[in-house]
Amino acid sequence: MRFGASSAHGRANLSQFRFFEEMGAFSRDAATGTYRVERERMQEAMNFLTEKILRMQGDGNVAEARGFLQAGATVGPTLKADLDGLASADIPTDIVFRQGIDVLGLTAMR
């Protein structure tokens, strides 16, 4: 959700997060604020969500797709606090590769 919950990608990612949360695909330790994937439940949740999305697409069910996105596209207080913690830790979300002759300290041969 690095682009924010208002972007299309952010809403989709947040909806998936909520779906996995409801399915018990991961747990959060309140004392440490860390998340743990529950492997078997995650596998089931991924399979179920994949089927759900493919059915919506195959059936052309726009109303169901919109409902899915709207139902899950809210950032709750716990998730917001966790995301704010990541932002304040200054963890980069993108890697920028600097390359070229200037970066390597070389001079162009002519």
pLDDT at 73: 79
Burial class (CB in 10 A: 0-12, 13-18, 19+), 11: buried
Task: Average the pLDDT over 64-82 and give the result.
Answer: 88
DSSP state of 35: E
**Lowest-confidence segment of 22-31, 47-56, 92-101 by average pLDDT:** 92-101
pLDDT at 27: 96
Q: Where are the domains of the chain?
A: 8-104
Instruction: Quick: pLDDT tens for 12-22.
Output: 889 999 999 99
Percent of the chain at pLDDT above 90? 49
CB atoms within 10 A of CB 64: 13
End-to-end CA distance of the chain: 47
pLDDT at 1: 66
Q: Please name every residue paired with 34 in a beta bridge, in sequence order, or none if there are none.
A: 29
Task: Average the pLDDT over 77-100 and give the result.
Answer: 81
How far is 20 from 58, CA to CA, in rounded Å? 22
> Is it the case that residue 85 has pLDDT exceeding 90?
no
Task: Average the pLDDT over 37-65 and give the result.
Answer: 96
Higher per-residue pLDDT: 15 or 1: 15
